[in-house]
Amino acid sequence: MEYNFGELEPRWQKYWREHGTYHVPNQSDREHFYVLDMFPYPSGAGLHVGHPLGYIASDIYARYKRLRGFNVLHPMGYDAYGLPAEQYAIQTGQHPAVTTERNIARYREQLDKLGFSFDWSREVRTCDPAYYKWTQWTFIKLFNSYYCNQARQARPIDELVGLFGRQGTEGLDLACTEPLSFTADEWNGWDERQRQQVLMNYRLAYLADTYVNWCAELGTVLANDEVVNGLSVRGGHPVERKLMRQWSLRITAYAQRLVDGLDQVDWTDSLKEIQRNWIGRSEGAAVWFPLAMPVNDNVLPGAQACMTQADPQPVPSFEIFTTRPDTIFGVTFMVLCPEHELIDKITTPGQRAEVEAYVAWAKNRSERERQAEVKKVSGVFSGAYAVNPLTEERIPIWISDYVLAGYGTGAIMAVPAHDSRDFAFARHFGLPIRQVVAAEPDAVSDPASWTESLDSKSGYSVNSGFVSGMKVKDAMRAVIDRIESLGIGHRTVNYRLRDAIFSRQRYWGEPFPIYYKDGMPCALPEECLPLELPEVGDFKPTATGEPPLGHASRWAWDEANRRVVDCSLVDNATVFPLELSTMPGFAGSSGYYLRYMDPGNSDEYFSRQAVDYWRQVDLYVGGAEHGTGHLIYARFWNKFLFDLGLCVCEEPFRKLVNQGMIQGRSSFVYRSKSDTGLFISKGLVADMDAVTPIHVDINMVDNDVLDVERFRQWRPEFADARFELEDGRYVCGWEVEKMSKSMFNVQNPDDLVARYGADTLRLYEMFLGPVEQAKPWDTKGIEGVHRFLRKFWKLYDNAIQAGRLDAEPSKAELKTLHQTIKKITDDIERFSFNTAVSTFMICTNQLTETGCASRQVLRPLAVLIAPFAPHMAEELWHDMGGEGTVCDAEWPSFDASLLVEDTVKYPVQFNGKMRFTIDLPADCDQAAALQAVTASADGQRWLGDKEPRKVIFVPKKIINIVL
């Protein structure tokens, strides 16, 4: 019988579907294992061959684990909210729900053809009210929580209300937007509105005026990870900084735990590093610098009084953050960011005009301009001076946009000798530079001759008062100790991570379960969720610039009757407007892995029983491009739910594998510039400047040879194309680019499944190279893999024809089988699927040679290949008389005794003595092995009858038999 994949693959897919083969129970005596893929955003373009790469890898692992006796949770769903569907809606008027539904159907059809073992009964969609009910529910929980730094835990906000009533802020260490300090009496004296405003400073989901990334083109605010180089990730539109009132999540409260948690998970070092850099923890000191001159207005916002040695009178001062407290003796000026609130108060009349002009200029500069002109130094002198608290020197205060408002305190002490940016600034404005660190204690030179600052932390302090001569690390400690003992500063840690802006001025997202009562936000009662997304007539912003939900006629909350009502009723005493923004894309994807555990539960996010059983994702497969987005947010989300006592593991994803992106391999033809009807074959192009490379559809190219007839038919302007051929063929050039329609290099998996079958495609995607590695797609090798499957099939077909299935296998055949079992098991365990495919090829070639017909060999082999080529495995399993489906078979174990290597290897001669190295399997008895080796043919050849004088054993091998 021929290998008829076109018939058998759909047949088995149907069988699995009808028999619920991949349905996973939440209760089992078997051990649990959770294999998860990053769920896709269903785009209109459908899947290309790059998308399933990770799904195939995880499917192989999930099927393998199942064969090893685990109860494997392997679900799939859709990240269905998102910008493209909405942009499409704006252009065409089609409701995003309609296009999303259509795209999902297409995705499902494509996925089904590949033979995945997903439990589709657990499917989730982020745009489904039954799902986003829990996204909204978590938001309310965040809104009603604060973070206690002492307990390192989120707590209910009601508890904080009680604490404020008893002790004010005294003794509390809270994550907040800005540090506040008040007494219980003050708190108790405030009215409800004032209290709510104060509480907003502590909520984990909070509303605040913040500088946000505003993208005018998309009409929405974006999170930091959605902006790259001042352009939006989606669409590449310019983004500017804008002060807006927005919802944010206080993810910074979890910064330290997000860093610490990385030590508990099995991720690649590079991804952990990406997250560590993004969180950007840095240790240093906060130091108060008093102002040196009297200030007209004594009420300085944010500034506090402090005592200095020189002046016992309280003086206004401001706080800076530094990671190099040891360089404080080298401070020659201070710099404030243009947004700093102190600027207005300290600027001297003579400098006022200049300062105001600079601040105005800096504020109007777009983020993109600012980033593009990093090298350009700009700034202005405020006219004011500060006092260095350790040296009592008067130092000028400057204003410059190289100091950022969002990091530290927006103010720095500048040490031009030891910071490259301060150095550039000092050089530009002719400010003094003073060396306070040197590589050796006496290696002091005149900074005037320097071309760059000495930023290294290895070296010694010089010219630095009481720390002179100390190593930099010791000097840091000594200076902080002194600062703390003087009460003018303290040790502190700063993070680069910012709170996540959580509102989007868009339609196609989760509505906030929030209404505004007298301008103050209130959460809907949990029992009223989900708050469903309303219909709107128009997906664009309203005429008054409100988000699209402003078009909804029925979008007000009747507090008394607990329901959504018509906006016209807002004047009624208990009816209030609902929030008009929606949640960002990462909202729905932050907890979806938990929902898979118990997707049908309408009373809870997920049941206690479900989470106790599944606990966390054991293996997560997806792209590293989510390193600073989804993978941070999901960890935060999970930690928060852990604090609430809902999750049982603090980290959501125990092991994470990043699949490499599959790039496109574009093909080019070369058109002569002098004769635009002439196309020159690649090998004949003498001068690349004389030709224009043109992308051609890879479907017209086979093995780099162009189908010239199809090319002529492709486009009218090529109908009369003439070709300069080499060896009668037109050879195309190629280049690796992103896989995209515009490059004509998109490979559709459906075409390949139709031509070669799903099993071939699965095997080929794995064969291409390591899963983690980025690689260009190239279809030309698929023939080889397909040939292998046919050969594998024929092995069984021949065996059945021969009718000797019950024959005893030869020793060589058994050895081949057991080598294969061992190698395949190892390969899967270390996620090396490309070498696993090779192993199958070698095994097949060997068995074809011996003409193996034994069921004893062929049946376990069908189980081994089941994770890779499940359709074929099912068919062959049945042909070999297997029971049930191959999915429920048992993973074969190998017999190590069949694998003992009995050869002597690597004779080497040195120091006049002959030595040998002998490779051994990991778990064999070395003494016995030595005997076997000396008795073997090879041993006799090398060793003869000589007694070894000395044998050195190392693990896994005998090394150096000395004669």
Partner RNA sequence: GCUCUGGUGGUGGAAUGGUAGACACGAGGGACUUAAAAUCCCUUGCCCGCAAGGGCGUGUGGGUUCAAGUCCCACCCGGAGUACCA
Residue 798 in contact with RNA, rule: CB under 7 A: no
Q: For helices 782-802 and 833-850, give the axis angle rounded to 10 degrees.
A: 40
Question: Considering only residues 112, 354, 559, 778, which one is a binding residue for RNA as defined by CB under 7 A?
Answer: 778
Question: Considering only residues 99, 248, 322, 503, which one is a binding residue for RNA as defined by CB under 7 A?
Answer: 322
Of 277 and 304, the one with the shorter C-beta distance to RNA is: 277
**What's the min distance (Å) between Cβ of 179 and RNA?**
17
Residue 494 in contact with RNA, rule: CB under 7 A: yes
List CB contacts of 48: < 8 A, sequence separation 6 or more: 739, 746, 747, 748, 749
Question: Considering only residues 158, 297, 311, 373, which one is a binding residue for RNA as defined by CB under 7 A?
Answer: 373
Phi, psi dihedrals of residue 961, rounded to the nearest 5°? -85, 110
List CB contacts of 855: < 8 A, sequence separation 6 or more: 799, 805, 806, 880, 881
- Which part of the chain contacts RNA (CB under 7 A), choosing from 36-44, 102-110, 276-284, 635-643? 276-284
Of 370 and 639, the one with the shorter C-beta distance to RNA is: 370
x/- map, 137-166, RNA, by CB under 7 A: ------------------------------
**Which ranges of 487-607 does DSSP label H, i.e. alpha helix?**
585-589, 592-595
Within 196-225, the residues that bind RNA by CB under 7 A are: 224-225
Cis peptide before 530 (omega within 30 of 0): yes
**Beta sheet of 380-387, edge-to-edge order:** 380-387, 394-399, 333-336, 411-414
x/- map, 324-353, RNA, by CB under 7 A: x------------x----------------
Within 683-742, the residues that bind RNA by CB under 7 A are: 703
The footprint of RNA on this chain (CB under 7 A) covers a number of residues equal to: 77
Residue 457 in contact with RNA, rule: CB under 7 A: no
Residue 816 in contact with RNA, rule: CB under 7 A: no
CA angle 60, 739, 679 (to 5 degrees): 135
Q: How many helices and strands in the chain, by DSSP H and E?
A: 29, 39
Within 20-59, the residues that bind RNA by CB under 7 A are: none
**What's the min distance (Å) between Cβ of 543 and RNA?**
35
**What's the min distance (Å) between Cβ of 193 and RNA?**
34
Residue 456 in contact with RNA, rule: CB under 7 A: no
Of 119 and 419, the one with the shorter C-beta distance to RNA is: 419
Dig out the tokens for 4 from the structure. 């008829």
Question: Considering only residues 273, 481, 566, 888, which one is a binding residue for RNA as defined by CB under 7 A?
Answer: 273
Place of tokens 């365990």: 829
212 has which bridge partners? 242
Residue 901 in contact with RNA, rule: CB under 7 A: no
Half-sphere exposure of 662 (CA within 13 A, CB side): 24
Rg of the chain taking only CA atoms, in angstroms: 35
**Which ranges of 757-832 does DSSP label H, i.e. alpha helix?**
758-767, 782-802, 811-829
Of 673 and 780, the one with the shorter C-beta distance to RNA is: 780
Within 830-889, the residues that bind RNA by CB under 7 A are: 832, 834-835, 837-838, 841-842, 845
Within 50-109, the residues that bind RNA by CB under 7 A are: none
**What's the min distance (Å) between Cβ of 63 and RNA?**
21
**Residue 32: closest CA among 597, 688, 651, 633:** 597
Question: Considering only residues 259, 274, 594, 943, which one is a binding residue for RNA as defined by CB under 7 A?
Answer: 274
Within 416-435, the residues that bind RNA by CB under 7 A are: 419, 421
Residue 445 in contact with RNA, rule: CB under 7 A: no
Residue 919 in contact with RNA, rule: CB under 7 A: yes
What is the spatial distance between Cα 74 and Cα 22, in angstroms, rounded to a whole number?
Answer: 9
Residue 14 in contact with RNA, rule: CB under 7 A: no
Of 224 and 616, the one with the shorter C-beta distance to RNA is: 224
Of 228 and 560, the one with the shorter C-beta distance to RNA is: 228
Place of tokens 């008062």: 465
Question: Considering only residues 101, 354, 558, 625, which one is a binding residue for RNA as defined by CB under 7 A?
Answer: 625
The number of residues making up the chain comes to: 963
List CB contacts of 389: < 8 A, sequence separation 6 or more: 287, 288, 289, 290, 308, 309, 483, 486, 488, 489
CA distances from 630 to 35, 370, 499, 623 (A): 17, 27, 14, 11
Question: Considering only residues 5, 34, 134, 278, which one is a binding residue for RNA as defined by CB under 7 A?
Answer: 278
x/- map, 390-419, RNA, by CB under 7 A: -----------xxxx-xxx-x-x------x
